[in-house]
Amino acid sequence: MEFSHIQEAVDFLKNQTQDFQPQVGIILGTGLGSLVDDITIQASISYETIPHFPVSTVESHKGKLLFGTLSGKKVVCMQGRFHYYEGYSMQQVSFPVRVMKLLGIEQLIVSNAAGGLNPAYQTSDLMLIQDHISLFLPENPLRGTNLHELGDRFPDMSEVYDASMLEKAAQIAELHQIRAHKGVYVSVTGPQLETRSEYRLLRQLGADAVGMSTVPEVIVARHMNLPVFGISVITDMCIPETLEKAELSKILAAAYQAEPLMTLIIKELLK
């Protein structure tokens, strides 16, 4: 990835939004797009018009970059993200985070739909991400020449997810009696779902939820020293002994059911 490509995208977006300077970047995952209904939108830009930007190929991802205000904060929101399984490199998957940083964001909020590995979880629960496991990814978004303009060659990952935002989100969930756990997210490539043995292994390694996104974007955010808050919606349970065939319609239904609760937490978190 070349720094000039990031700058070209940034210059284009500044021109399209009259130099709108967002404070917070938000990435919305599968089935979690209705948060945009609460955003006072000032500009909506399709991914395909942005220089060097990937294009969403997943049906449930709208493929728009939204600029506006939410809970009094200026935000830039990705209505749909990119995945390694779509054929993109990890650098392409995480490219939008680079762009959002140069647009001015000071925090990043990421959401995803995930499978529950922890037997204490239930479908449509929320998980506040307190750490992640990236060891199963075949490629690292930081591989190659370091973009020294943006961060160090060897970024520290001892506290990936911002502790203060994590605690505030936990307090919001408790106040509103929302089932929200703190847990570890493990990222895999997909697009196939995991076998019973793979689920068993991931659980033994300490993962509470599994998904096919989020971690590449978070690694890049931390490379640029951006504070990150992550939240997963548990859309299906992945317990080997009671595993049922996954159906996309059921996964999306579980995401829609939990979406208002996730939206509430994010809106309160921004206040």
β-bridge partners, 113: 233
Which pLDDT value is given to residue 21?
Answer: 97
Helical segments of 105-195, H only: 163-175
Which pLDDT value is given to residue 247?
Answer: 87
Which pLDDT value is given to residue 100?
Answer: 99
In eight-state DSSP terms, residue 38 is: G
Overall average pLDDT of the 136-149 stretch: 96
Contact between 199 and 210 under an 8 Å Cβ cutoff? The reply is: yes
pLDDT in tens, 151-176: 999 999 999 999 999 999 999 999 99
Residue 16 predicted with pLDDT over 80: yes
pLDDT in tens, 39-87: 999 999 999 999 999 987 776 557 899 999 999 999 999 998 999 999 9
Residue (of 68, 111, 230) closest to 160 by Cα position? 230
In the chain, domain spans: 3-270
Architecture of domain 3-270: 3-Layer(aba) Sandwich (3.40)
